[in-house]
């Protein structure tokens, strides 16, 4: 069970095959049960053609991840346990949201407060586990250290942010760290959810991010690699690599059916779980400060929504009429629209959906390569 590279490869292949084989049957079942997406007409090209496309396809992703994980991960490893709990918890939360939308014919699904509460409970539990499970903190001291780019030591101690010393200072540092964990998990989960608006966009982007985090887990599990790259050695973190290999394999298999034109949508069942897994995996490998670069697509998508809402409310309150920064948010929809007054008018013409997704993937790959390059930049 120590051959991490082999287990990661087999985990990925298993998840890919399960997604391809089971995906076809699950999609047929969803179609039979008429579990289709309810489309709100936003005036986007080709949008209404997607009406009735099966949703809740995140079930395919989660089942595929579990198949690879159960067969090839060490199930007694705390990294495996926390990542599996994250997938099941947020997958269940997203499933409840999709169930209400589809079967209760409520377009709103779960309330925002209910979803945030569910995410918060998980994030708090993950934070407490990371803080109090001895496996995460080898050695005599419990210093909360993470990876930071552009500095020689590549390490950042959260205690540097706390003005207090001694026992009280240590407690304050742990509280701060738990808050950071909660923020990262909620931000990643909701960022992925916002990105899931075009065929293949969230799945492809998440797969790219997952591969990079898996590489981080593999490198940190080896004393040789961690010494060479001057990064933290994290015993047992190789299981993150095996899990994220299943994660990437499941997404590639799902993309077979989700790429344009999509035969199935992942729904909140998939998008909430994907982002949560990415956030938890980043915290476990101590790479959370690299997420603004690695998850740049998710970050920009989220910021576009916040900026749009904030500016619209501000201008409406001040001038009596709401104005827009983008033609539409999240950002990917901005490129699908034309002829709408907004501060940003580039590009002049609406772009095809497949072209937008392809370019977002290219940007995601560039950001992934840049993130890996930061391991050697001082």
Would residue 262 count as lying in a domain?
yes
For 18-23, what is the mean pLDDT? 96
Alpha carbon separation from 32 to 26, 27, 29, 54, 204 (Å, rounded)? 10, 9, 5, 10, 27
pLDDT at 187 over 70: yes
Would residue 306 count as lying in a domain?
no
Calpha distance 20→271 (Å, rounded):
19
pLDDT at 148 over 50: yes
Burial 269-298 (b: 16+ CB within 10 A, else e): bbbbbbbbbbbbbbbbbbbbebbeebbbbb
Would residue 343 count as lying in a domain?
no
CB 204 within 8 A of CB 362: no
Calpha distance 205→256 (Å, rounded):
14
User: How does pLDDT run across 67-107, given as a tens digit for each residue?
Assistant: 999 999 999 999 999 999 999 999 999 999 999 988 887 77
pLDDT at 39: 63
Would residue 37 count as lying in a domain?
yes
Please name which of 15, 43, 39, 18 lies closest in space to residue 262, comparing C-alpha atoms.
39
Q: What is the DSSP string of 118-155?
A: HHHHHHHHHHHHHHH-GGG--SS----EEE-TTSSS-E
pLDDT at 140: 43
Would residue 340 count as lying in a domain?
no
pLDDT at 156: 86
pLDDT at 37: 65
| Average pLDDT along the chain | 90
Domain count across the chain: 1
pLDDT at 353: 92
CB 213 within 8 A of CB 287: yes
306: tokens are 């916040």
Question: Would the pTM of this model clear 0.85, i.e. be above it?
Answer: yes
For 268-296, what is the mean pLDDT? 95
For 186-195, what is the mean pLDDT? 96
CA dihedral 173, 178, 181, 185 (to 10 degrees): -160
pLDDT at 139 over 60: no
Please name which of 187, 55, 32 lies closest in space to residue 109, comparing C-alpha atoms.
55
For 159-188, what is the mean pLDDT? 92
302 or 144, higher pLDDT: 302
As a three-state string, the secondary structure of 149-210 is CCCCCCEEEHHHHCCCCHHHHHHHHHHHHHHHHHHHHHHHHHHHHHHCCCCCHHHHHHHHHH
> Could you check whether the bond before residue 347 is cis, i.e. omega within 30 degrees of 0?
yes
Would residue 78 count as lying in a domain?
yes
| Domain range enclosing 182 | 4-300+354-373
13 or 321, higher pLDDT: 13
Would residue 346 count as lying in a domain?
no
For 163-191, what is the mean pLDDT? 92
pLDDT at 357 over 90: yes
Q: What is the DSSP string of 230-293?
A: T----TTTHHHHHHHHHHHHHHHHHHHHHSSSPS---HHHHHHHHHHHHHHHHHHTT-GGGHHH
For 193-214, what is the mean pLDDT? 96
pLDDT at 38 over 90: no
Calpha distance 220→241 (Å, rounded):
10
Beta bridge partners of 36: 54
**Percentage of the chain modeled with pLDDT above 70:** 92
SS3 54: strand
pLDDT at 41: 57
Would residue 121 count as lying in a domain?
yes
């Amino acid at each position: 069970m120590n051959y991490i590279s082999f287990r990661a490869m087999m985990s990925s292949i298993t998840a890919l095959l399960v997604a391809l084989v089971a995906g076809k049957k699950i999609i047929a079942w969803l179609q039979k049960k008429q579990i289709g997406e309810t489309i709100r007409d936003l005036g986007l090209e080709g949008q209404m053609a997607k009406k009735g496309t099966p949703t809740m396809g995140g079930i395919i992703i989660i089942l595929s991840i579990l198949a690879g994980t159960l067969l090839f991960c060490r199930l007694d490893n705390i990294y495996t346990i926390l990542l599996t709990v994250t997938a099941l918890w947020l997958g269940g939360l997203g499933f409840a949201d999709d169930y209400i939308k589809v079967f209760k014919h409520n377009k709103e699904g779960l309330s925002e407060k209910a979803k945030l509460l569910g995410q918060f409970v998980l994030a708090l539990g993950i934070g407490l586990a990371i803080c109090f499970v001895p496996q995460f903190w080898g050695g005599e001291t419990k210093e909360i250290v993470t990876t930071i780019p552009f500095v020689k030591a590549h390490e950042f101690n959260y205690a540097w942010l706390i003005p207090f010393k001694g026992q009280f200072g240590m407690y304050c540092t742990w509280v701060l760290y738990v808050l950071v964990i909660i923020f990262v998990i909620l931000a990643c989960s909701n960022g992925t959810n916002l990105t899931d608006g075009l065929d293949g966009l969230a799945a492809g982007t998440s797969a790219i991010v997952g591969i990079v985090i898996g590489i981080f887990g593999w490198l940190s599990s080896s004393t040789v690699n961690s010494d060479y790259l001057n990064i933290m050695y994290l015993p047992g973190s190789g299981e993150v690599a095996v899990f994220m290999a299943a994660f990437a394999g499941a997404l590639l298999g799902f993309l077979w059916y989700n790429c344009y034109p999509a035969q199935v949508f992942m729904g909140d069942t998939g998008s909430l779980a994907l982002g949560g897994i990415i956030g938890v995996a980043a915290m476990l490998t101590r790479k959370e400060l690299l997420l603004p670069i690695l998850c740049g697509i998710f970050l920009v998508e989220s910021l576009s929504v916040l900026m749009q809402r904030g500016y619209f409310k501000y201008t409406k309150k001040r001038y009596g009429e709401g104005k827009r920064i983008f033609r539409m948010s999240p950002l990917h929809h901005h490129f699908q629209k034309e002829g709408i007054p907004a501060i940003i008018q580039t590009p002049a013409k609406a772009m095809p959906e497949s072209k937008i997704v392809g370019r977002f993937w290219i940007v995601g790959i560039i950001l992934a390569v840049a993130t890996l390059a930061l391991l050697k930049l001082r």
